[in-house]
Structure 1
């Protein structure tokens, strides 16, 4: 059993304008980081286009069609103040969602132990019918619903350590007792959600906000005390990681001070829960991370830890 990395060149064709932090170079930096000999044992595959019926388990079909229709023939179209579409954006979004679906198929069928989906655009800010925060389709949510519908998973845990709160994922699963969403994030910060008191209709939403300037020590404490015990008690059939690396101390969009070792630690702890509760099944999907060096080094540690099993 090995670790699978999923990507697709189409995800490089999504542009949001010169100087935008969510840029194709993010994936190029990750690709370079995973080229070394240490990663030769990885399984690698291309992300298929998402089945629209699978996307529609989360997003209404008229919303999916509206995103497709908004795709420009040339230039850029803004869909929210900081999110734009280029001619390649819809295809990239379908590949990002499709990569998450394929990762679930491979992990839930036992073909691989775990998977990392290195695609863009990210997803955790996308609500049921609202693109925002660089996101169009909520890849982690689509993956969770697919695990339930196609593979019989009864409970799915989504753990999000992006510096920004995944308002979209929380919104989608707010009243669903079969999915727990657990997040550490900086607060106050965009998008303004993620307070401790936001707990969902079934007390299955778990928020552990951090303050600007907090270090890896505080992050690890929040994970140890708040997040990990709740994930373990939930006994999920699959753990999905919304793997944002913008809490890294180098990142321009956040004010936390995590280092690569903190991501390795969090990955190892989540894998421990997966080993005890769900046959080691972990699917990790890329979210944020906007300093190219910090992103590349953090992803390398994250994937290395996934490979350790």
Structure 2
């Protein structure tokens, strides 16, 4: 790690500004905006080190491993694209100095003491098994979904550190103006399938619940609404909500029970229910009911029921699930969004309203029942937080082999949904929103989804041209390990010129990309030397390499098989679940010729150029005019009293009576922006999140008798 891992990015950003004079004013304006008005993006370089370690598998099988380090590179392209559009509205942070602990209280309160320690042991033991050509995960796990190595432990600790950094960014700082309201944490592996003590669907720890516990321990957050827009149901996140409600987890050990209640002041009833724990969490999810873990043809009745659960303010549970619907036109999707998907925000609003009332009337509510039947008041005020489980595998750009049931969302959805989440947070949580990366497995889906999500996280409008097939295709070229700029470009080809700026920024964002992902000549030569050293002249394993890295290890049976020997290999030398429908999956366009099907679109380039120039004129004023910064009355009075103490800020912005920050501007382009609204549905996505909704439009599947199991990557158990 370098002392400043963002040094290369900052240097590349400076070149970007120099190459694009029209963004200089917007870039310089960053110093005039308080940190509280910017969105923080937390990078997790350690997350790259969770790498598929089974060297003996075929190339076709390796393609089925869709949860891969390259996902972070694709996300970096989306981050870079957002930054080029709004260079003054984002703050990058690297969590390279922070490693969390699987033994920390906020991890063990979610997962107990047994599971984190078991995970640590499995990671430590994995390398020795791999060196012998054995599958490194337990027999009961699906080896097609989950893999481990000693470096997985480093990735998990790094992810925990990034989560903690994200929470700190929105609650802690040297002054209120240095505390942002919004943060996006870029980590892997994902977490929303992980149960209390059972991994599933690529997930080893439940990242959002760990973040919630950390926010409770460090910043007294009492209530959290989790909004999950991943293609797949977050069964693990929902399951842990049942634990929080006081229901005994099936896997809980006596040690875990004692950990959660050391003085036995909150014992289980005869029905395995005790008082709900703080923080209290509502789970609000939209997902494809026919995909994992409710895969058509494999789903259990229990999983289908879980993914269809809808219960509010009963038995300490607040859970609402909505199922994705098919659509064919933008207008049709907008109708579905307003009538069906927005129900999640109405329910989350209800959750927060009930929570606030209960916290303000704790003593009264306790007196209404017997002391034996009521928990002790928390003696803390209501403090809310909105957490987004940000999975991008429902994107229109995701591979069809992941979306096997033909339901998805347009790219603009990620902007609209995120803006609605901001409104919810402004109403109940002083604008505090934490977004944590979940799914998304093709470069196009991740890149475009993260781009649109970050635009929404700053309350800006998504421009249709940004999500066009040609624009996305140009950006994801940067996901190729051996990417090279075009040798020549037309001066009028604005999209290609802009995309290459984005690519340079994205590839400079994390220094570890060079070591882990990029196929430089030096790296390829080093790998060849390592492979040559690993084998003796007769093709057998060089035993001196047993202690080397995973990439250098080649088992004796594998080496002999490659040399043409007909030796029977271990029953574990081939992964279970070989029949996975991703064998033909093309994840990165790596072998495509740059110009095979390229057609210069003059009109698209002109329109795209107009959108970029338009932003650089008024992005700062427009952002601060449209995003309410909700404050406590005492904070507002304090800022008004200290209006002259803000230095350069005082001349460029003022606090209005409605709590908005506004930069005076005599140059706006609102008329041009209005011209770009392409459908009547788009004009309505600013409507109140508490508008009327139709409960009958929510899919409720009650009785399907299939009993097979599916896996996240599509194979059988």
Q: Same fold (TM over 0.5)?
A: yes
| SS of aligned partner of 1:4 | strand
Q: In 2, Cα distance between the equivalents of 1:9 and 1:39? A: 24
Q: Is this contact kept in 2: 1:121–1:134, CA < 8 A? A: yes
Render the CA deviation track for 1:256-295: whole Å, top value 9, x for unaligned.
2212101100000010111111111000000000121121
Q: 35-44 or 109-118: which moved more? A: 35-44
* Distance change >3 Å, CA 256–CA 97, structure 1 → 2: farther
Q: In 1, Cα distance between the equivalents of 2:417 and 2:191? A: 21
* Distance change >3 Å, CA 150–CA 188, structure 1 → 2: same
Q: Is this contact kept in 2: 1:164–1:185, CA < 8 A? A: yes
Q: In 2, Cα distance between the equivalents of 1:21 and 1:219? A: 29
Do structure 1's residue 12 and structure 2's residue 124 form an aligned pair? no
Q: How does 1:83-98 map to 2 (within 5 A)?
A: 83-98=146-161
The residue that corresponds to 1:158 in the other structure is 226
Q: How does 1:157-306 map to 2 (within 5 A)?
A: 157-174=225-242, 175-176=244-245, 178-192=280-294, 193=303, 194-197=306-309, 199=311, 201-211=315-325, 213-214=326-327, 216-217=333-334, 218-224=336-342, 226-235=343-352, 237-252=384-399, 253-254=402-403, 255-306=406-457
The residue that corresponds to 2:111 in the other structure is 59
Q: Is this contact kept in 1: 2:47–2:159, CA < 8 A? A: yes
| SS of aligned partner of 2:109 | coil
Q: Is this contact kept in 2: 1:245–1:288, CA < 8 A? A: yes
Do structure 1's residue 133 and structure 2's residue 187 form an aligned pair? no
Q: In 1, Cα distance between the equivalents of 2:224 and 2:52? A: 32
The residue that corresponds to 2:361 in the other structure is none
Do structure 1's residue 3 and structure 2's residue 57 form an aligned pair? no
Q: Is this contact kept in 2: 1:101–1:142, CA < 8 A? A: no
* Distance change >3 Å, CA 39–CA 99, structure 1 → 2: farther
Do structure 1's residue 34 and structure 2's residue 102 form an aligned pair? no
Q: Is this contact kept in 2: 1:248–1:256, CA < 8 A? A: no
Q: 260-269 or 79-88: which moved more? A: 79-88
Q: In 2, Cα distance between the equivalents of 1:5 and 1:32? A: 13
Q: In 1, Cα distance between the equivalents of 2:339 and 2:152? A: 38
Runs of at least 5 residues in structure 2 that lack an aligned partner in the other structure: 1-35, 54-61, 246-275, 295-302, 353-382, 460-626, 628-717
Q: Is this contact kept in 2: 1:3–1:114, CA < 8 A? A: yes
Runs of at least 5 residues in structure 1 that lack an aligned partner in the other structure: none
Q: Is this contact kept in 2: 1:5–1:115, CA < 8 A? A: yes
Render the CA deviation track for 1:83-107: whole Å, top value 9, x for unaligned.
1113321211222232222211221
| SS of aligned partner of 2:292 | coil
| SS of aligned partner of 1:88 | helix
The residue that corresponds to 2:652 in the other structure is none
Q: In 2, Cα distance between the equivalents of 1:87 and 1:164? A: 28
Render the CA deviation track for 1:17-51: whole Å, top value 9, x for unaligned.
62211111111011123234335442122232224
Q: In 2, Cα distance between the equivalents of 1:305 and 1:168? A: 26
Q: Return the match for 2:92 from 44, 50, 74.
A: 44
The residue that corresponds to 2:574 in the other structure is none
* Distance change >3 Å, CA 265–CA 301, structure 1 → 2: same
Q: Is this contact kept in 1: 2:414–2:456, CA < 8 A? A: no
**Structure 1 residue 220, shift from structure 2 partner:** 4.7
Q: Return the match for 1:123 from 191, 196, 199.
A: 191
The residue that corresponds to 1:23 in the other structure is 68
Render the CA deviation track for 1:170-211: whole Å, top value 9, x for unaligned.
111115262101100000221123433353743401111225
Q: Which has the higher helix share?
A: 2
Do structure 1's residue 69 and structure 2's residue 137 form an aligned pair? no
Q: 138-147 or 8-17: which moved more? A: 8-17
Q: Is this contact kept in 2: 1:210–1:219, CA < 8 A? A: no
Q: In 2, Cα distance between the equivalents of 1:97 and 1:284? A: 14
Q: Is this contact kept in 2: 1:97–1:138, CA < 8 A? A: no
Q: In 1, Cα distance between the equivalents of 2:43 and 2:237? A: 22
TM-score with structure 1 setting the length? 0.92
Q: 116-125 or 2-11: which moved more? A: 2-11
Q: Return the match for 1:78 from 127, 137, 149.
A: 137
* Distance change >3 Å, CA 220–CA 297, structure 1 → 2: farther
Render the CA deviation track for 1:64-97: whole Å, top value 9, x for unaligned.
1111111123646235211111332121122223
Q: In 2, Cα distance between the equivalents of 1:151 and 1:204? A: 22
